[in-house]
Every structure is written in C-alpha cells, then in structure tokens.
Structure 1
Amino acid sequence: MELTVYLAGQIHDNWREEIKDNAKSKGLPLHFVGPMENHERSDNIGEEIMGEQPNKVFKDEAASQINNLRTEVLLHKSDVVVALFGDKYKQWNSAMDAATAVALNKPLILVRPESLHHPLKELANKAQVVVETPEQALQALSYIFETN
C-alpha cells in the first residue's frame, strides 16, 4: 500500500524536502504532492495560460484559477493532508488547503507551534492529529504502516 500525501503550507523553505528525504530514508511508501513550490511560476501561471492581464488584480485572479485547479485535483487524489503553519509567513493558503481537506473528509495532520494554538484552535479540533514539527507528522504517518 502506498499513500499519497498532500503537503500544504508555505513554500519559502525546504520543510517539504526534509519530510520527503526522511520518508525515503525510512523506506515509507509515501508519494508526495502539493502546491507549486516555484513562487514566480505560481504567480505568473495565469498569464502563461490565459495571456497578459490588464492589471495586477486580474493577473492574481487568473493565477488563482489555475492554482486552485491544481490544488483541488491533488487534494482529491490525496489520502492524507499535512498542513504546516509557522510563525514566519502568512498562512492563508495553508488554512484554505486544510479547510478543504476537512470539507473533503481527508485525514488531516496539522503541524503548528504551540504559539499558534489559539488562532488555529477550531481547525485543530477538526484535524485527526495536531503536532508541532514536520518530523512528528512523519512519525504519525509511519505508524500507519506498523504491524507490531
């Protein structure tokens, strides 16, 4: 059995690569998907597909349509969602992806520092698991495959 894991969260550091590398080193049968990690491509994809837009608002709207298509397809195909929240970056996309996972009845592992307990309390209450580090999220996924 292989699980498809959607990694939701900010794209400004390498937390996804750390999870992927750790999963591979542990031999876990996990396939990872997620948002476009190339920020420039994500911001420009609407114009690449639909042509030049008249202003920044329309450019953002066009990019959002394509990015939302990607997210919707990959979330539907995922078996579980790991949503990372941190203190450093705005987390709107993480919140949207996590809420979509809940709405789709996808198991959700919420990763957040204790300092974000209060602002994420309702979302945390809907998650199957709440942890503080990506490594703990991977340990929870690993437990699925244990037999003894």
Structure 2
Amino acid sequence: MELLVYLAGEIHSSWRTQLKEQAQKQNLPLRFTGPMEDHQRSDHIGEEILGSQPNNVLKDEAASSINNLRTQILLSKSDVVIAYFGEQYKQWNSAMDAATAITLQKPVILIRDEKLHHPLKELANKAQLVVQTPEQALKALSYIFE
C-alpha cells in the first residue's frame, strides 16, 4: 500500500523537503503532492493561461481560479493531508486547504506550535491529529504501516 500525502502549509521554509527526505530514509511508501511552491509561477499562471489582465485584482483572481482548480484536484486524490502552520507567515491558503480536505472527508494532520492553539482551534477540532512538528506527523504516518 502506498499513500498520497498532500502537503499544505507555508511555502517559505524547507519543512516539505525535510519531511520528504525523512520519509525516504525510513523507506515509507509515501508519495507527496501539494500547492505550487514556485511563487512566481503561482502568481502569474492566470495570465499565462488566460492572457494579460487589465489590473492586479483581475490578475490575482485569474491565478487563484487556476490554483484552486489544481488544489481541488490534488486534494481530492490525496489519501491524507498534512497542514503545517508556522509562526512567521499568515497561512490563509493552508487553512483553506485543510478546511477543503475536511469537507472532502480526507484525514488531516495539523502541525502547529502550541502558541497557535487559539487561532487554529476550529481546524484542530476537525483534524484527526494535531502535532507540533513535521517529525511527529511522519511518525504518525509510519504507524499506519506497522
């Protein structure tokens, strides 16, 4: 059995790379997907596909429509979602991805420091598991294969 894991969460740190490397070292049967990590590509995909937009609001809306399509498809195909919330950035997309996964009845592992308990309490309440580190999330997934 192999699991497809959607990695939602902030894109400005290397948590995804570290988690993938640890999973590979442990020989876990996991494949990973997630949001577009190339920020420029994500911001400009609307104009790349739909053509030049007359202003930044419409440029953002065109890009978000295409990014939402991509996210919806990848989330729906995933077996489990790991949503990482760091302290430094406002992760609105992560919260939306986690909420979408919950709506799709996908298991969610929420990673957040205890300091973020209050702002994430509703998502945490709906997640199957709340942990504080990516390593803990990976340990929970490895338990599935025992």
CA distance in 1, matches of 2:8, 2:93: 8
Give the alignment of 1:50-89 within 5 angstroms.
50-89=50-89
Runs of 4+ in 1 over 6 A off after TM superposition: none
1:4 is matched with 4
Q: SS of the residue aligned with 1:37?
A: coil
Letter paired with 1:49: I
Query: C-alpha distance in 2, partners of 1:35/1:29?
Result: 21
Cα drift, residue 58 of structure 1: 0.3
TM-score, normalization: structure 2? 0.99
- Correspondence for 2:106: 106
TM-score for the superposition, normalised by structure 1: 0.98
CA RMSD of aligned residues (A): 0.5
The aligned residue for residue 141 of structure 1 is: 141
Q: Deviation per CA, 1:46-103: give whole Å up to 9, x if none.
A: 0000000000000000000110011000000000000001110011000000000110
Q: In the aligned structure 2, how far is the partner of 1:43 from the partner of 1:12? A: 15
In structure 2, what is the Cα distance between the partners aligned to 1:144 and 1:22?
16
| 2:26 aligned residue | 26
For the residue of structure 1 that corresponds to 2:95, the secondary structure is: helix
Instruction: Give the length in aligned residue pairs.
Output: 146
The residue type equivalent to 2:77 in the other structure is: K
Post-superposition shift, 1:14?
A: 1.0
Counting aligned pairs with the same residue, the percent is: 73
How many angstroms apart in 1 are the aligned matches of 2:120 and 2:34?
21
**Matched ranges for 1:38-57 at <5 A:** 38-57=38-57
Q: CA deviation at 1:121?
A: 0.8
The 2-side partners of 1:31 and 1:84 are apart by 17
